[in-house]
Amino acid sequence: MPEPKPSRFPVMEHMTVKQVRAYLARKQSILIPMGVTEQHGYHLPLSTDATIATELGRRIGGLADVLVAPTMYESFSGGGLPGTVNISPAVMSLVVSDRLVSLAAQGFRHFYLWLCHGGSENERALEDALRILLRTNPTFQESLIALLPVWRFGRRCADGWGRAIREHDWHAGWLETSLMLALAPELVRMDELETDPEPLLSLQIEHPDNYQHAEKMVDDPVVIPRLTQRPDIQVGVMGHPEQADRELGERATEAIVAEVADKIQDLEARADGVYEEVEFTPEPIVLE
């Protein structure tokens, strides 16, 4: 008699209808990895954020006993180098909302959005979309939606996001490169590593949105600026990838996975399906 095929839990896209139905009978939680297709210098692939989201997400799902949804690539980058695919923040918000509505209709109730792509515009739009979804759609009245950005986890590791943020290692730098060396080394091309020349490199390290420049037809406060990527940026690295190390990436991976799994298990234990009032402090009104 042939051996039965493994279920390949916790990866939803590798499962069958029967297997997902069996999972829903015992648990209604799902992790949704979120990445993007965007510039990551010459040494990392365009799929870097999505690859990190997928590989870390599957490890988290296995440790936390939570099903992992297919990775979402539809995000806004803001970059403009060849290969970058920009999905507007509004469309990204609709895709996320539709995904959650579809999953909720099947019986999922706890949604963990595993965000591995930053981008200030993208993150703001995502948070707004999730708040509006909870506010306006009664389907989610007993649902828990949690947004888990990768940079909030793994900080107990000396070489994790805490150090990276202190050093302004934002994008395609030593931490992302180290993670890729640990998770998908066959995709890393360290022999092709380059950065933009100074002062462009330091400018991008200073602030992750410094890759942009602003233009106005009329320089007046009421005129909305047109923001585009600086045309002199050709590589788009915001950090020091030459400091990357596979063992460092393995340590960071272990720390991130453990912390996210702990957070999910804690939320699962405390979620009872009942919404209760919590403190709410509106953003201050600034009139200039």
User: pLDDT digits over 64-90, tens only?
Assistant: 999 999 999 999 999 999 999 999 999
Q: Where are the domains of the chain?
A: 12-270
260-271: pLDDT as tens digits: 999 999 999 999
**Using 50, 70 and 90 to split pLDDT, how confident is the model at 122?**
very high
The pLDDT, as a whole number, for residue 15 is 94
User: What is the mean pLDDT of the segment spanning 176-180?
Assistant: 98
Per-residue confidence (pLDDT) for residue 5, from 0 to 100: 53
pLDDT classification of 119: cutoffs 50, 70, 90: confident
pLDDT at 288: 66
Taking residues 245-273, report their average pLDDT: 96
Q: Is 152 exposed, middle or buried (0-12, 13-18, 19+ CB in 10 A)?
A: middle
pLDDT at 156: 82
- CATH class (in words) of the domain with range 12-270: alpha beta
Report whether pLDDT(1) > 80: no
Tens of pLDDT along 183-210?
A: 999 999 999 999 999 999 999 999 999 9
pLDDT score, position 158: 86
Q: How confident is the model at residue 103 (pLDDT cuts 50, 70, 90)?
A: very high
> What is the average pLDDT score of the chain?
94
Question: How confident is the model over 234-249, as a mean pLDDT?
Answer: 96
Residues 6+ apart with CB under 8 A from 273: 109, 142
Mean pLDDT throughout 34-56? 97
Measure the CA angle with vertex 164, ends 158 and 168; round to 5°: 150
> Residue 200 has which token pair?
């462009």
Mean of pLDDT values over 109-115: 98
Look at residue 143 and tell me whether its pLDDT is greater than 70. Answer: yes
pLDDT at 136: 95
Q: What are phi and psi of 263, to 5 degrees?
A: -65, -45
Mean pLDDT over 129-149 rounds to 96
* Contacts with 25 (C-beta within 8 Å, 6 or more apart), sequence order: none
CA atoms of 115 and 101, how far apart (whole Å): 18
Q: Are strands 110-115 and 226-229 parallel, antiparallel or unpaired?
A: unpaired
